[in-house]
Amino acid sequence: MAIGILLVGGMGTRLKPLTNQTPKPMLPVAGMPVTERQLLAAKKAGINTVILATSYLSEVFTPYFGDGSKWGMKLLYAVEEQPLGTGGAIRNAAALVDFADSAEEFVILNGDILSGHNISAQLDFHRRNQADATLHLIEVADARAFGCVPTDSNGRVLDFLEKMERPVTNAINAGCYIFNSSVISQIPENTVVSIERETFPQLVKSGRSVFGYSEQSYWLDIGTPFALFQGSRDIVGEGFLVGQGSQIGEGSVITGGTSIGQSSTIGANCRITNSIIGDGVQIGNSCTISDSFIHHHSQIADNSKTLGKYISPTENLPISAQ
C-alpha cells in the first residue's frame, strides 16, 4: 500500500503573525489542524504509514500526533535542519523507509491544502496509466496567479508553465502528487529542490510519464489569513462550531462561521463573528471579537474589543488584510 508524505516544514510567511508560534499546517481550521484532516483523508484512501516532513517549528507536531496510533496509523517524522524545499523534503522523508527498493508509490500532500478530492481514484488513475508521477489538477476561474499545467487528451502532462498574463489552461497543480520510487531517487540528496520549479519540469523534459488527474472538488490553499478564515467558515457552515468542554455565557451571540476549540470559556454578553478561537481560551464578559485569531490558552479581559487581531498568550498583533 502507498506511503504518505505530508510537506509541513514551510515558514508560512504569508500567514504571519499567525505562524509565529504554530506551523501553518497546525493552525486550527474549524477546530482541527489541516494536518489532521489530511491524515484522515490519507487513511480513507487506505494509506496507513505517513511521514511528516517537518522543519520550521518541527517540535510542535510530535506532542500532538505521537506515533499515530490514536488515528490507527503509523507516523514517522523527518526533520530538516535547514528547510530543503518541497523536493528536498520529499527525498529526505522517503529516506526513512528504504524507498529505493520499494514497489509502493508515495502519495505526497502539500500541508496547506484543504481538498475533498478522491485520493484512491488518483492512485487508480496513476496505476492505470503506469505513470511515473501523477499530480492532482484543479481548474480555477483565474489561473494568472498560479503556474498552469497543460495536458493532452489522455491527461499526459505537456508542460509546467510559470505564472503568466494569459494562461493556456485554467488547470493548476492542486498539491497532491503520486510518485514512484524511481522519481524520488532522481531528486538529489541534502539539496534544496523545488518540486514545482525543478523536479516536475525536468521530469517532463526528460520524457518521463507524468499525468494530471483532473477532479473538481472542494479545494482551498489556506496560505493567507483571508484564505484560512474562509476555509474554517466553509467547514463550519452557517452559525458556529464549539468544541468539547467549552462553555458560552448567557446572552453571547456567536456568528459568521466562528469556531471555538475545546475547553474554552466565553463570558456573558459577548459578540463574536468570523473568528477562530483555539483550545483553553478564556474570554471575559461583554467582549466584541471579529475577524480575529485567538491562539490556544490566550486570555481576553472583560469589555475588550478585538477586531482583526492575532492574540496569543504572549502577543497581540494586527492581522494584515490579504
Per CB under 6 A, does 9 bind ligand GTP?
yes
- Asked if residue 38 binds ligand GTP (CB under 6 A), the reply is no
- The answer to whether 111 contacts ligand GTP (rule: CB under 6 A) is yes
Select from 4, 41, 106, 112 the one that contacts ligand GTP (CB under 6 A). 112
Residue (of 107, 99, 155, 133) closest to 208 by Cα position: 133
Minimum distance between the CB of residue 163 and ligand GTP, rounded to whole angstroms? 14
Residue 205 grid coordinates: 523534459
Among 223, 243, 257, 261, binds ligand GTP (CB under 6 A): 223
For ligand GTP, the binding residue among 10, 147, 212, 278 (CB under 6 A) is 10
C-beta separation of 180 from 133 below 8 A: yes
Nearest residue to 34 (alpha-carbon basis) of 205, 197, 231, 179: 231
Cα–Cα distance measured from residue 275 to residue 292, given in angstroms and rounded to the nearest whole number: 5
CB 253 within 8 A of CB 289: no
Is 83 a binding residue for ligand GTP by CB under 6 A? The answer is yes
Q: Are residues 164 and 124 in contact, defined by beta-carbon separation less than 8 angstroms?
A: no
Among 22, 49, 86, 264, binds ligand GTP (CB under 6 A): 86
- Verify binding: residue 199, ligand GTP, rule CB under 6 A: no
Give 305's DSSP letter. Answer: E
Under the binding rule (CB under 6 A), the answer on residue 31 touching ligand GTP is no
Question: Is 24 one of the binding residues for ligand GTP (CB under 6 A)?
Answer: yes
Question: Is 116 or 251 the residue whose CB approaches ligand GTP more closely?
Answer: 116
Q: How many CB atoms lie within 10 A of CB 147?
A: 18
Binding of residue 87 to ligand GTP (CB under 6 A): no
Cell of 168: 493556456
Is the distance from CB of 219 to CB of 116 less than 8 angstroms? yes
**What secondary structure letter does DSSP report for 26?**
G
Region near ligand GTP per CB under 6 A, out of 13-21, 177-185, 232-240, 278-286? 13-21
Q: Which stretch binds ligand GTP (CB under 6 A): 50-58, 135-143, 199-207, 231-239?
A: 50-58
- 184 near ligand GTP, rule: CB under 6 A: no
Distance CA 29, CA 79 (A): 24
The number of residues that bind ligand GTP (CB under 6 A) is 24
By CB under 6 A, tell whether 201 contacts ligand GTP.
no
Task: Tell the smallest beta-carbon distance from residue 19 to ligand GTP (Å).
Answer: 8
Distinct helix (H) and strand (E) counts, the chain: 7, 25
Residue 15 or 60 with smaller CB distance to ligand GTP: 15
Q: Which amino acid is at 22?
A: T
CB 283 within 8 A of CB 266: yes
The CB-nearest residue to ligand GTP is 10
Max Cα distance, the chain (Å)? 65
At residue 65, what are phi and psi to the nearest 5 degrees?
-100, -20
Which residue in the set 7, 123, 137, 138 belongs to the binding site for ligand GTP (CB under 6 A)?
7
Binds ligand GTP by CB under 6 A, chosen from 4, 12, 225, 278: 12
Q: CB-wise, 27 or 277, nearer to ligand GTP?
A: 27
**Adjacent-strand bridge partners of 288:** 271, 305
> What are the residues binding ligand GTP (CB under 6 A)?
7-15, 24-25, 53-55, 80, 83-86, 89, 110-112, 223
